[in-house]
């Protein structure tokens, strides 16, 4: 089964056009009252999609432990990226990935915004550009109306919301250390460093879950998993064989409150830099052997180290020490290599197979290698 984007590409293009042509550089009067001469803008929104490429069930028995039957790739702005580190795959990929005999499944997607802030100093202006997550909520399946929530920051962070057809952003102040934002059941959720949860509906009504979750010193992520909203708390450990630990909290919408859970069941979490995806182990043909978290830490984008955390055992292991898991990300499986020189654009699905053109450019590849 393929999980296609809730927002089709043409709607994303429409959103980008409206943001550019209607609003251009967006001024936040409430921010300017705090810092005279500040001007913020959201310049571009890019969709990033995580794909699973796998052998059909009839042929997967050809694969062995060091050449698994599945491969993960993230595609953003037409470029293939490592799903955990966002590093480009720029050296060893073939010029073509012929996908006609394989299953290609979209596991999830997210939106990344390119933001900028301009500060007018007395003698010269200061510009700062940065990349941060954006969330988009489609208001009705029968129309193109949407809401955008962006995270603007320069010393202090603000959530700003914009409805299609409106000329001004609604800015939510008094937010502190926002670590993640997500849409869930037609609402926006944000989690602060303190563990406080912010909830905003499509009418701009703001609510809070005041009870703090986790520790302010830990990193927190929001993700929808099996129809539930989860907080994933990443605990950095010192003087331990595991460099990080994790706690998982599940939202009780009726109360509302968070309560800790000890298992993800068959779910596997993939923690990217701006995107968290939950996927069933069954998609990898692993049965119910989930309860894993893949993540990366430390260094620049190109130098980040990838790990897998076993939630049941409570241990973290570098992926380079786990070829079965590491090869989900790199190198490219032997069965996926092709000697052709152009990307196949005419693909026909075989029975039970979902095919997608990943839009990979000719010069893509990777400098990442596994042990």
Tens digit of each residue's pLDDT (9 = 90 or more) over 152-175: 776 667 788 888 888 778 888 777
Higher-confidence residue: 2 or 104?
Answer: 104
Residue 278's pLDDT band, with cuts at 50, 70 and 90, is very high
Range with the largest mean pLDDT of 93-102, 104-113, 180-189 = 180-189
Name the nearest CA neighbour of 71 among 98, 50, 48, 95: 50
Residues facing residue 268 across a β-bridge: 279, 292
**Residue 46 near residue 112, CB atoms below 8 Å:** yes
Find the range with the poorest average confidence among 29-38, 174-183, 267-276, 343-352: 343-352
What does the pLDDT read at residue 63? 45
User: Using CA atoms, how far apart are residues 105 and 99, in angstroms rounded to an integer?
Assistant: 11
CA triplet 255, 261, 263: central angle to 5 degrees?
A: 145
pLDDT of 297 higher than 50:
yes
- Residue owning tokens 């296609």: 4
**Residue 269 near residue 244, CB atoms below 8 Å:** no
Higher-confidence residue: 232 or 244?
Answer: 232
- Residue owning tokens 């596997």: 268
User: Using CA atoms, how far apart are residues 194 and 218, in angstroms rounded to an integer?
Assistant: 9
- The per-residue pLDDT for range 33-71, each reduced to its tens digit, is 234 566 777 878 888 999 998 887 755 554 444 456 888
Find the range with the poorest average confidence among 44-48, 213-217, 226-230, 362-366: 362-366
């Amino acid at each position: 089964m393929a999980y296609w984007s809730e927002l089709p590409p043409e709607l994303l293009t429409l959103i980008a056009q409206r943001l550019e042509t209607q609003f251009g550089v967006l001024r936040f009067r409430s921010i300017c009252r705090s810092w005279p001469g500040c001007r913020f803008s959201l310049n571009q929104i890019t969709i990033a999609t995580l794909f699973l490429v796998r052998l059909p069930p009839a042929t997967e028995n050809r694969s062995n432990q060091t050449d698994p039957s599945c491969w993960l790739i993230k595609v953003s702005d037409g470029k293939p990226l490592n799903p955990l580190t966002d590093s480009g795959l720029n050296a060893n990929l073939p010029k073509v990935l012929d996908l006609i005999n394989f299953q290609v499944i979209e596991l999830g997607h997210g939106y990344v915004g390119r933001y900028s802030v301009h500060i007018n100093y007395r003698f010269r202006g200061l510009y700062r550009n940065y990349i941060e997550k954006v969330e988009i909520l489609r208001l009705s399946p029968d129309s193109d109306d949407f809401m955008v929530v962006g995270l603007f920051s320069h010393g202090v962070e603000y959530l700003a919301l914009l409805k299609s057809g409106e000329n001004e952003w609604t800015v939510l102040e008094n937010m502190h250390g926002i670590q993640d934002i997500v849409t869930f059941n037609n609402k926006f959720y944000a989690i602060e460093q303190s563990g406080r949860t912010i909830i905003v509906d499509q009418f701009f009504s703001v609510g809070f879950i005041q009870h703090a979750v986790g520790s302010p010193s830990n990193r927190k992520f929001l993700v929808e998993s099996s129809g539930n909203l989860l907080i994933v708390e990443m605990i950095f450990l010192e003087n331990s064989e595991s460099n990080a630990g994790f706690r998982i909290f599940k939202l009780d919408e009726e109360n509302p409150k968070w309560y800790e859970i000890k298992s993800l069941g068959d779910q596997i979490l993939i923690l990217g830099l701006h995107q968290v995806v939950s996927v069933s182990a069954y998609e990898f043909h692993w049965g119910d052997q989930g309860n894993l978290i893949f993540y990366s830490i430390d260094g620049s984008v190109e130098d980040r180290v990838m790990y897998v955390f076993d939630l049941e055992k409570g241990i973290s292991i570098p992926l380079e020490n786990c070829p079965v898991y590491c090869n989900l990300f790199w190198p490219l499986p032997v069965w996926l290599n092709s000697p052709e020189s152009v990307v196949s654009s005419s693909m026909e699905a075989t029975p039970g197979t979902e095919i997608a053109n990943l839009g990979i450019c000719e010069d893509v590849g990777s400098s990442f290698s596994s042990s």
